[in-house]
Amino acid sequence: MTTAASTGTTNKTARGDGPSPRPARVSALRRSWDKYWYAWAMVAPVAVVITVLVLYPLGYGFYQSLTNANESNVATTIGAFHRPATYDFVGLDNYWHVLSGADGDFYPRLVWTVVWTVSCVVLQVGLGMALAVLLNREMRLRGFYRAMLILPWAVPSFIGVFAWRLMLNSQYGVFNEIITAFGLPAQNWLGTPLAQKVAVIMVNVWIGIPFNMVALLGGLQSIPKELYEAAEMDGASPWQRFVNVTLPGLKPVSNTVILLGCIWTFNMFNVIYLLLGNNTTGDTDILVTFAFHKAFNGISDYAGAATYGIIILALLLAFSTFYRRNTLKSEQA
C-alpha cells in the first residue's frame, strides 16, 4: 500500500504542476488503491497459487511443446550428479507432426474421443433427464429412490470403476451371467477393442447419470407450476407440455450440464485408464489417456505429451466458446 501511495505522490509532482486534469486522475488511482487494497490482499494468496501452479506450468508446458524434450535430455539430478538439460527448441514442429497426421495417432484418437464424448453425454443427459422427470412428482419412497440413484456419484469414481472391472471379468464376471440370463451373448468385455469401447462408455454413463439427474431435477423444480397449468388449459398433451414447457424451462440448467458433461467426459481419465489398465491395444485410448501414456510410459516423451495437452486445451476452449455463444444466442431469442 505504501509503495503505491508514494508512487502516486511522485506521479503527482512529476506531472501535476500545471492546471491539467492529471492530478484528478492520479488521485483517482490512489483512491482506487485505498478502496481496493484489501480486496487485492485477499485474493493475493489464490492469485499466487494459481500463477505458480497453473499459469506457470501452462506456460512451461507450452514452451515444452515447442522443444524436443524427453526423458533422456531434460535436466536431472541423480544423487550428487547433475545433468543439465540438452533438449532443443524446435518451433512448431511437434504441432505440425501431430496435426498433419504424421504421427498416425492423433486423428484416430480424436475421432474416438469425439465418439466417446458424444455418446456418453447423450446417454448421461438423456437418462438423467428421464429419471429427473420420474422423480419430480409426489410419491412414496421418493427420498429412498433419490438416495439410491445418486449412489454411483457418492462412491469415489475409481472405486466404481474397480467394481465394474470385477463384474465385467470375462471368465467369472457376474455381468456376463446376468446378460446371458436375458438371452444376450456373453462378451469378453475387457478383451476385444469393440467390447472395451462399449464397456468404458457403459461405466462412464453409470458414473455420470446421478449428477445430471440431480442438476436437472433442480431445474425442473424451478419451472413455475403456472406454466404447466396454462398449457393444460390450452389442451396441450403431456408430450407437448414436455417439449414446449419443460425443455425450454430447463435450458439454463441443461446448457450448463451439457457443457460441463462434455468437458468432464473429454478429460475423463479415471474410467479408461483404470478399467482397462495396460490390457489394451491403444484403440480405447482417448486423447487424454494417450497423452498420459506418452508422458509416463517407456521413454517419456514430454514434448509430445505437452503438445497433446495444449491441443486438447485449445479444442476445449474453442468448443466452449462456440457453445456458449450459441446457447446465449438461443437463450436470448
Sequence length of the chain is 333
- DSSP letter assigned to residue 185: P
Report the helix count and the strand count for the chain, using DSSP H and E.
Answer: 16, 2
**Any idea which residue has 429419471 for its cell?**
131
Which one of 17, 25, 57, 194 is in contact with other proteins (CB under 8 A)?
A: 57
* Residues from 78 through 117 that contact other proteins (CB under 8 A): none
Which one of 114, 195, 227, 260 is in contact with other proteins (CB under 8 A)?
A: 260
* Residues from 201 through 220 that contact other proteins (CB under 8 A): 206, 209-211, 214-215, 218-219
CB of 132 to other proteins, least distance (A): 11
- Cα distance between residue 62 and residue 245, in whole Å: 46
Q: Which listed range, 6-14, 93-101, 115-123, 156-164, lies at the site for other proteins (CB under 8 A)?
A: 156-164
Q: Which listed range, 6-14, 118-126, 179-187, 250-258, lies at the site for other proteins (CB under 8 A)?
A: 250-258
Which one of 18, 84, 143, 172 is in contact with other proteins (CB under 8 A)?
A: 172
CB of 212 to other proteins, least distance (A): 10
Q: Is 302 in the site for other proteins (CB under 8 A)?
A: yes
CB of 201 to other proteins, least distance (A): 15
Among 293, 287, 108, 271, residue whose Cα is nearest residue 198 = 271
CB of 134 to other proteins, least distance (A): 6
The SS3 call for residue 76 is: strand
The residues near 259 (Cβ < 8 Å, ≥ 6 apart) are: 320, 323, 324, 327
Q: Is 162 in the site for other proteins (CB under 8 A)?
A: yes
Closer Cβ to other proteins, 112 or 164, answer by number: 164
Among 137, 118, 120, residue whose Cα is nearest residue 209 = 120
Among 254, 116, 141, 262, residue whose Cα is nearest residue 193 = 116
Q: Is 181 in the site for other proteins (CB under 8 A)?
A: no
Q: Is 32 in the site for other proteins (CB under 8 A)?
A: yes
- Cα distance between residue 309 and residue 304, in whole Å: 9
Q: Is 224 in the site for other proteins (CB under 8 A)?
A: no
Q: Cα dihedral sign for 184, 185, 191, 195?
A: negative
Q: Is 292 in the site for other proteins (CB under 8 A)?
A: yes
Among 62, 97, 66, 67, residue whose Cα is nearest residue 85 = 67
Which one of 90, 110, 114, 313 is in contact with other proteins (CB under 8 A)?
A: 313
**Single-letter residue type at 10:** T
* Residues from 122 through 151 that contact other proteins (CB under 8 A): 131, 133-135, 137-139, 141, 145, 147-151
Closer Cβ to other proteins, 49 or 111, answer by number: 49
The cell numbers describing 247, all together, are 425443455
